[in-house]
Structure 1
């Protein structure tokens, strides 16, 4: 029995190594795509609170600050609506590459901006690029994953998001040490983001296409090879091939014009809200919207401001505290990622909701009762610890569980359209 268990474990490790090594270029490209997105999330808050940034653009109101930070989401929310159909038509890899290039252009405009309007225009352009790749990543990863490891592999992008947050915070912490006398302190993090965008736009030339996209195009031999390299077993592989052959025979994708596909996309949105798919689509949009309205962006985007209000003095101390919170998030995301298939989606969602609500009510009550003071009292330390705990709980439960549940709960017929709607709802709430 022990020998059999040892052989089984060795086989499992071999399968995992095969999945990771044989298609490493494809997985690295997908994960770096999400890393680039979260790098912006990690650095935009610290960048816009740097004295050098305010010295360049002048002081502005909290409302204007909110517009600067969230403008990337405005354009991204609209782009996300059509990203699915563009990926279906031209292939996810190509759309990822185009989105990466647009992202790089937007970040480059921001890094060279001399006026606040130019900076906001750069963020709007960057948002177009983000909308093209972010909304498709979880669907793409899910469809590239064998059923037996889909939960874990679908959770990996969330791990990469947290890694990007950590890097974003600490890059800004490092550049803030250059001082307020040079604009490089806020420009360098954006230069890094831009360079990463341009670098990843070149992955189109060597990253293999999605097997499901190849199947939809009728390229069965190429799709079979990729499925084997991805570690799909023979039963699952042959089932996909059989289903795809039937669909291609019934409908030739090359006969449909791009404008016809756009019409079909909006028809798909209508279908997603029709019976019997309506309830799943509405629930998917609801949970992805609530994921943002829970308040996590108050931690990610405005962490430096939150820590300053809680009593941490000094720009570098605030940045460092924000980075430490990101490290704490990373610490919980690692086990949560690999335990995604063992934790029930329902248990994770309910437990996360209770803890998140409790922590948010605690922090809000302290501020409402005027118990948080920078120079006295324990209130500031309760808020600081609560911020850490809030970020840890959210990323260990809702951040991973909701994404996986969304993809798994949507029927294949409306998965592309419904997931685009859910991602758009996520960004609108953001």
Structure 2
């Protein structure tokens, strides 16, 4: 469910009967329809951490899924463009409530040795959601009625309510219980989860602080995230997730059918197949990348990923700028298509993995949910701007978007090289201590006598 909407909305908005029933999709209108889910997600996500702190992680996720299901149902039943956009706005509110909270929840439950694998499982399920969305649409595009675009959205609504029903039975986060001063419940839950005493150390070492601050944290969590002792971490998380979208990944995913048509696959059904192959590639590479998430340095993944992503984007831009892609003969268009797949693979095995877990890892318990939600809000706000303007940009320049995203990715990679601390293999409390005392090895990833690796 996390990115089922990403796999559905691009193909749906390009379907013949959608254009007849809802709107002819000019570049501006197409960008508005697709991006209208992102701005509400960005706004609501600012407050999602406070909701998660107030009612608990699973309940916040449940509320988010229910809201998303309602929005998808409105989309499926739309009779005009305004109703459809209202449905997308409601979906965005739901996604803003649940997505960042899911990562926080998993991060708080996971032992250090498995934290990377477990938190990046969200990315794997997102990839499966994209794949499912593309092929649902490929199956329904053959229906000669409005059901061709309504059915995928109805399925999306059903799955959202199904996930909400499952989340009702999930246990609270033990660290959230500690934050609320409910230490006995937290200890019993840790035992039920089979977590060792060493991995509970963050709870025990923060016990006094959370008892004293739990009331103020729940009522002033956004303000708390910008206090002197944690504001650098909040700023890093916001920058880290916000700048991720400037590599243009969601533009490729949302507008995959159009991008493949631009590269020379002219048939709509063929472009849908190419988009579906993209989703298959995403799932295929995300599975091993997820399983190996704790085997790689977080810094190395980020820096290497930035180099690979920018290289692919610049190569595509050069091929379009040279005019080689539009020649009736030659291999340039196939090089572009293959490079798009390489770009997606590079993102999935590096930035797609890292960017799910890292913002939560660097936060202390009192601000983890709020700071992660603020970072996710920045991600969606930047993504809204990118997804809104990309169709217009592509309509005026076939190479410009690739040069822009490639250049921004290079700049972002250089900046993160200097400001990004290493977190792999360290307990959440060790990371917290490193930030408080500004320990150099935490910033530059050096080996220490107390750590197997950093």
Q: Does TM, normalized by the shorter one, top 0.5? A: yes
Contact 2:52–2:369 (8 Å) recurs in 1: no
Among residues 266, 284, 295, which one is paired with 2:248 in the alignment?
295
- Structure 1 pair 428/85, CA: closer, same or farther in 2 (3 Å)? same
Using the size of structure 1 for normalisation, the TM-score is: 0.84
Give 1:232 deviation, angstroms: 1.3
- C-alpha displacement of 1:149: 1.1
Secondary structure, aligned partner of 2:295: coil
CA contact 2:62–2:168 (8 Å) conserved in 1: no
User: Does residue 103 in structure 1 map to residue 72 in structure 2?
Assistant: no
Question: Is the contact made by 1:310 and 1:374 (CA closer than 8 Å) also made in structure 2?
Answer: no
Partner of 1:55: 20
Cross-structure match for 1:117:
82
Tell me, in whole angstroms, the C-alpha distance in 1 between the residues paired with 2:184 and 2:226. Answer: 34
1:328 to 278, 281, 284: 281
Cα distance, 1:403–1:202 mapped onto 2, change above 3 Å? closer
Given that 2:66 and 2:160 are in contact with CA atoms closer than 8 Å, whether structure 1 keeps it comes out as yes
Map residues 22-421 of structure 1 onto 2, 5 A cutoff. Answer: 36-178=1-143, 181-237=144-200, 239-243=201-205, 245-247=207-209, 249-251=211-213, 253=215, 261-262=218-219, 264-271=220-227, 274=228, 276-373=229-326, 375-421=328-374
Inter-partner Cα distance in structure 2 for 1:211 and 1:47: 41
Shift of 1:376: 2.8
Q: What secondary structure is seen at the aligned counterpart in 1 of 2:110?
A: coil
- Cα distance in 1 for residues equivalent to 2:232 and 2:184: 38
Q: 1:204 to 1:307 in 2, by over 3 A?
A: closer
Structure 1 CA distance for aligned equivalents of residues 265 and 327 of structure 2: 7
Please say if residues 172 and 185 of structure 1, whose CA atoms lie closer than 8 Å, have aligned partners that are also in contact. Answer: yes
* Cα contact 1:92–1:140 (8 A) shared by 2: yes
Instruction: Count residues in correspondence.
Output: 383
**2:75 partner SS:** helix
TM-score, normalised with respect to structure 2: 0.80
Q: Is the 8 A contact 2:175 2:365 kept in 1?
A: no
CA distance in 1, matches of 2:133, 2:222: 36
Is the CA contact 2:13–2:25 (under 8 Å) kept in the aligned structure 1? no
8 Å Cα contact 1:162/1:333 also seen in 2? yes
SS of equivalent residue, structure 2 residue 347: helix
CA 1:416–1:97 in 2, change beyond 3 Å: closer, same or farther? closer
The CA RMSD measured in Å over matched residues stands at 1.9
When residues 307 and 220 of structure 1 are mapped into structure 2, their CA distance, relative to the original with a 3 A threshold, is same
What is the alpha-carbon distance in structure 1 between the residues aligned to residue 243 and residue 67 of structure 2? 29
Q: Give, in angstroms, the shift of residue 251 of structure 1.
A: 4.3
Summarize the Cα distance change of 1:335–1:137 in structure 2 as closer, same or farther, 3 Å threshold. Answer: same
Shift of 1:58: 3.2
**Equivalent residues of 1:309, 1:374 under 8 A apart:** no
The C-alpha deviation readout for 1:314-338, integer Å capped at 9, x for no partner, is 2221111111111111111111111
Deviation at 1:261, TM superposition (A): 4.3
